Structure formats: C-alpha cells, structure tokens
Structure 1
C-alpha cells in the first residue's frame, strides 16, 4: 500500500471513530413529541411575561404586535419545516445558515441561537423561583440550582425518555390554560380591554393609548407567546422519519401556540382589565383573583399548575441548548469534547457545562 493510500485509510478511520463517539439516539422522537416539544419551549410565555406589553402599548398595541409576531413566526416555521426536510441535522437554524452563507454565516447564526438558549433557562428559573416562593414559601438560589440538577439528570438519560416526561408536563400546563380560558369566557367585557389611560403620544387613542410607537415597544413582549418554537428542528437527528415529522411538529405547535396567544390576550384583559395586568408577575392568577376573588380553587389550581408550564419550558430549552452546543462542537466551532455522547446517546458535557 502506498503512503498516500495509507494516509487516506487512516483519515477515514479517524473520521468514523470521531463520529461514532458523537451519535444521538435516532428514531427516539415521533411527530407528536415534536409538537409537544415546540409547545413546551414556549408555554411559559403564556403564564408570565407577555402582559408587560400592555404597559408599553396598551391592549391594542400588544394585539397588533402579537399578530405581526405570529405571522413572522408562522413564516419562519414554514420555512424551517421545508429546510429541515432537506437537511435533518441537530444544528437546526445554524445548519441552514451554514449551507446558505458558509462557515462564518453558520458560526454567527449558531452563536446567536446559543446565546438565546443558554440565557433563557436562567430567566425561566427565576420565574420558577417566584412561583415556588408564592406557593411553598421557598425560592431563590436553592430552587434555581435544584431545577438545573434535576432536569439535567433527566436529560442525561436520553432524548426519548426526557421528551416523554416533558410531554406530560406540557399537557398538564395546557390543561391549566384551558381551565383559565373557560373560566374567563363568561366574564369577558370588551370595554375592559381599553381601560389604560390615553397618553399624548402620536396616534394615541383608546385602542392605542401609547400611540403608534407603543406597537413597536410591545413587540418584545408579544414574542413571549412564540419565543423558541424554532428550536423544533434541533431534534432532527433523533426524530422518526424527519422528512414528515419535523414539518408536522413545527406547524402543529405553531397553530396551538397562536390559538393560546389570542385567547389569553383577549380573555385575560377582557375579564380583569388591561390596567390591572400590565405590571403583574402572575397575570393569569391575578386575572382569576380579580374576577372570582382571593381564595378560590381556580386561582390556586392555575397558580400551582402554572408552575408546570414554566418547568416545561425550562426542561425543553435545556434540550435545545445541549443540541445546539453538540452541533457547533461536532463541526469544530466549539471544543470538540462538548459533542461527546454517553451510553444513552446524550451529549452529556453539552448538557452539564452551560
């Protein structure tokens, strides 16, 4: 054998060995789990965060911002579902950008997505701590650390097991939203949507109390209704029949989230009043208290089960950042050790280190 042939043979062996240590569990996730994954990424935003947009743009400003953001995310989901059928890899948006714009474009996109997914669980952990403190009298760093330890441990068991648990938690949170929606319908009054005082800003009216700029100011809060649904393609390498299941997962979760966003936006403010919710840390619970009184099983139920929504988003975004790190590491953008997988085919360092 010539030296050049021997070198090629050794290189191929090294490549096989490299990727053998960096394999995810294929076929572990069906389309229904992908729908659950997409909803779980976002569902915490239905329980808290969106309502601060009422203070920025009034109900009308937040409503217009939500419609704009919903259309943007729907278009993005349709585009990503199309691309994920052609390129079903764990990198998601990073992989698509790399194919389109080259290594630098892929690196910049992957880094931006990674920052989003690495920071989001920390923010959600703070909300979980607040909910735990209101429910059980225990919050702060002990709750934050416990969340990370418990849910990282579950993810280390593998994608299939982790996403099934996540699906159950998400279903429980959806039940809480449905209970809230049904409870608010009889108390809806359209006039309460527009009870925020009208300012002197350009274009200000009862519908847009903060004027035209209020629409722009409300956009970051409208995004809470949909933020991170684009993470579904990160499960591409672990999906069953990704060509069919990824589009179903993305579009299915987007439709569910859009329905929840509009129902919550109309019914919560329409029953309790926009002004009462614009600075609330727990808007759904406060809306129920405003309508039904302080000590009711409805408020207690939504408050308690609302914790499941926060947990679902926290749980799923750990999955998202680990797969993003896995893909960037395997491609050589990050230290290559971060893409090593354990016996359960889970990228253990990518789960733990962030």
Structure 2
C-alpha cells in the first residue's frame, strides 16, 4: 500500500486549515489567563505572545516552503540536526497536537451542555472524537472543504459576537481589577503576566499545523505563504477584539475560569433568553469544531510522518483506500478519549482538566518553536542550496525575536508549571528510550530525500 499523500489543497483550503486549527482559542481557554493575570496583565501577555507568533510565522514559512513535508517541524529539525533533532521536534509537536484536542472536545461538551443541561459533557466530547475521526478518514479534500466552511462560519460568528456586545462595552469594566494582586500591584502583576503565558499562546496555538498538510498542497511554495500570512493577521485581529469586548461586557471575573466565556459574556449584555444568545451557542460550536477537526488532521500527519521515517511503529504510516492515514487518526483519538476520562482522578497543580491539557499542549508547542527557529538558522548555513521561494523578512532579527520570546516563554512555563513540565519531560524521555531501541527500524524506513538533503 502506498505511503505517499495526494496533493489536492489550494491557498483557500490551507488558510482554512491554518485559521481553523487555532480559532477555538478565541472561543475558550484564553479566559483562564484573566484568573492569573487580570485583564490588563493578560493583555500585556497577549501582545507579547502575538509578537512571538507574528515573527515565528514569517520565519516558519521559509521552512515550510523550502521543505514541504508532512512532518513539518520534525522534517526541518531532522534535516538541520540529524535524527535526535528530528526526534525532539517530532515528539514535541506530537504532544502539542495530541493534548490540544481533549481540551477542545471538553469545550464542545460544555457548549452543548448550555443547551442540554442533562447531557454529560464527556460523552459529547467522545462523540465529537468519533464523528470527526471518521470525517478525516474519508479523505483530505472532503476534510479540508468542511474545515474551510466551518472556519468561515466561526470567523463570522466572532464578528457577530463583537457587534452584539459592543453596545454594552465599557472600558471601566475591562480595567477594573485589571492587574493580578490589584490591591497591591507590582511583583504580583509581573508574576501574573508570565504565569498567563500558556493561555495567551492558546489564542494562536497550532497555526503551524498547516505545514503538515504541505505534501497535500498544490504548489506549496506559493500557496503556503499566502495562507500563513493571511491566517496570522486574521487571528491577531480576532484575538484582541474578542478579549476586549468580552472583558468590557460586565464583571470579567465571572468569565475567568469557565469553558464558555463568550455565551456568558453575551448573557451579560442581551440576557439569557435572547435569540442572539442561543445563536452564539449553536454557531459558536463551529469555532470549536474547526479547531478540533483541523488538529485531528494535524496530529494524524505527524504520527504518519514519524512512522514513515521509522520513529514510530510502521503500521501508523499505512493509508486507507481514501489515501488518509487512518491508523494514525485512530491512535491519536484513543489517547484523547483516555485523557477526557482521566478528569477527576488525575489532579495536576489543582488545574481543571481543560487548563492542564492546554498547558501540556503549550509545552510541546514552545519546544517545537525553539527547534524550528534553531533549524532555520542552521539550515541557512548548512543548506544554502535549498530553494527558498519565501525568505524570512528581517533575517536574522525577526526569527531571532521569535526564538528569544519562545525561550522566555519556556522558562516561565517551567517556573509556573513544574508538575506538568515534569510530565512533559517524562513523555519526551519515553520517546527517547523508544528511539534508542529502534535504530534498525529507522534504517529499514524508506529513504526520504527531504530528510536527508538529497
């Protein structure tokens, strides 16, 4: 059976994947940052993280067009730093893309629970896994078209949200108690800014996943840059707009530790029984679905690429008759479902399951960002022959800013989340042990010219 993916995606599909992967971050998750930093502190965190992502995407696009490989960061780091470099980036990306979906699935359950109070959010989350794994198995073109439609609807819904709550917006509401430790701001405010990093990253987490569809893109050297640049601009505008409008709708402290902040913010302005309120709950699901569905596509391609290169069992690289990596799709789904049902018997630093899954996913993302920027610098020196149809603007300053900010975020994450950081290191260590035991498996893997520079 073939292990080659079929190129069928254009610019608009890739934009839909890039934005869709991320857009659930505008619907939930970020408001946990208010709980630790306050609205003003979290705004500072968000602007810092937005700078990181803007510099990162403009730099990452050079890699994704020069090496259009389903492994994305795994392929870039493997080419730059050899097998061990590929392992670090590949495992980190896998952690990011496997642990983000359970958080989103639980948010889908929470949104449905608003309409159906007797529906168990966990069962709704598992149902979402089954439905969207099946859709991904049926073909990438179908999956990408669905992703595009729900992404456009999700963007429109966020604009509707901002428009509906705008009449009730008050800057006084937004700035009230705006800093962590607002009675005695200072050290607490600075500490809160850094503690909130994972929740600001959630605004943009996984946009890099569109690179994992590079092998399925038509003319990736042209379509990927357009999709990424359009995507990051779309997301920055939406993130700042949604956060400001929600925070100014009323007492933001009522929104800081819940999975459905937008419906609750709208309720403050239009009331619980407004038609706008029910529309947001239903159409708002599209934002969660877009990210959930897109990240399933992303994690499956990462499993596929690692397995094809011999870093994971070869069976995960098998393709279905629809030319999709069905075994990889199912494997990630099973891990996610186990994570959902771990809620209640695993307690990580006193966090909710959603906050813990977000934090774990962010650890994977930050390590991957660091490896990707290091790969960019190294490949500029060691592989000048690569065809770079898009070159990082402002090199080396722009990728340097992305690298420095990523390292700052990583240090802050480890400082404020030592338990989850330790668990992340344990996952990476298990991956490394498997790596050491499977050298022959990698030697038998098909030769990949992109990984070996041939």
Q: TM-score higher than 0.5 here?
A: yes
What is the rounded CA distance, in whole Å, between the counterparts of 1:270 and 1:121 in structure 2?
Answer: 29
Once the two structures are TM-superposed, the CA of residue 203 in structure 1 deviates from its matched residue by 7.5
Q: Does 1:311 align with 2:285?
A: no
Once the two structures are TM-superposed, the CA of residue 135 in structure 1 deviates from its matched residue by 1.4
Of the three residues 276, 281, 284, the one matched with 1:298 is 276
**Pairing 1:83-98 to 2, within 5 Å after superposition:** 83-98=63-78
**Which residue number corresponds to residue 277 of structure 1?**
255
Q: Does 1:217 align with 2:198?
A: no
Once the two structures are TM-superposed, the CA of residue 150 in structure 1 deviates from its matched residue by 1.4
C-alpha distance 264-197 of structure 1, shift in aligned 2 (>3 A)? closer
C-alpha distance 158-295 of structure 1, shift in aligned 2 (>3 A)? same
**Which residue number corresponds to residue 16 of structure 2?**
36
Of the three residues 137, 140, 154, the one matched with 1:156 is 137
Once the two structures are TM-superposed, the CA of residue 200 in structure 1 deviates from its matched residue by 5.2
**Which residue number corresponds to residue 59 of structure 1?**
39
Deviation digits for residues 249-271 of structure 1, max 9, x if unmatched? 11111110100001011111122
Deviation digits for residues 189-218 of structure 1, max 9, x if unmatched? 21111222766589717xx9x411111012
Q: Which moved more, 1:187-196 or 1:64-73?
A: 187-196
What is the rounded CA distance, in whole Å, between the counterparts of 2:180 and 2:68 in structure 1?
Answer: 50
Q: Which moved more, 1:69-78 or 1:266-275?
A: 266-275
Deviation digits for residues 301-330 of structure 1, max 9, x if unmatched? 111111111111110111000000111011
What is the RMSD of the two structures over their aligned residues, measured on CA atoms?
A: 1.8
C-alpha distance 305-200 of structure 1, shift in aligned 2 (>3 A)? closer
What is the rounded CA distance, in whole Å, between the counterparts of 2:83 and 2:23 in structure 1?
Answer: 33
Q: Which moved more, 1:232-241 or 1:122-131?
A: 122-131
Once the two structures are TM-superposed, the CA of residue 52 in structure 1 deviates from its matched residue by 1.2
Gaps of 5+ in 1: 1-19
Of the three residues 159, 171, 177, the one matched with 2:152 is 171
Q: Which moved more, 1:162-171 or 1:181-190?
A: 181-190
Q: Which moved more, 1:126-135 or 1:251-260?
A: 126-135
Gaps of 5+ in 2: 333-454
TM-score calculated relative to the size of structure 1: 0.89
CA contact (8 A) 1:59 1:193 kept: yes
- The structure having more radius of gyration, on CA atoms, is 1
What is the rounded CA distance, in whole Å, between the counterparts of 1:275 and 1:130 in structure 2?
Answer: 19
Of the three residues 98, 115, 123, the one matched with 1:142 is 123
**Which residue number corresponds to residue 98 of structure 2?**
118
Deviation digits for residues 3-22 of structure 1, max 9, x if unmatched? xxxxxxxxxxxxxxxxx620
What is the rounded CA distance, in whole Å, between the counterparts of 1:72 and 1:321 in structure 2?
Answer: 23
**Which residue number corresponds to residue 194 of structure 1?**
175
CA contact (8 A) 2:41 2:180 kept: no
TM-score calculated relative to the size of structure 2: 0.70
**Which residue number corresponds to residue 308 of structure 2?**
330
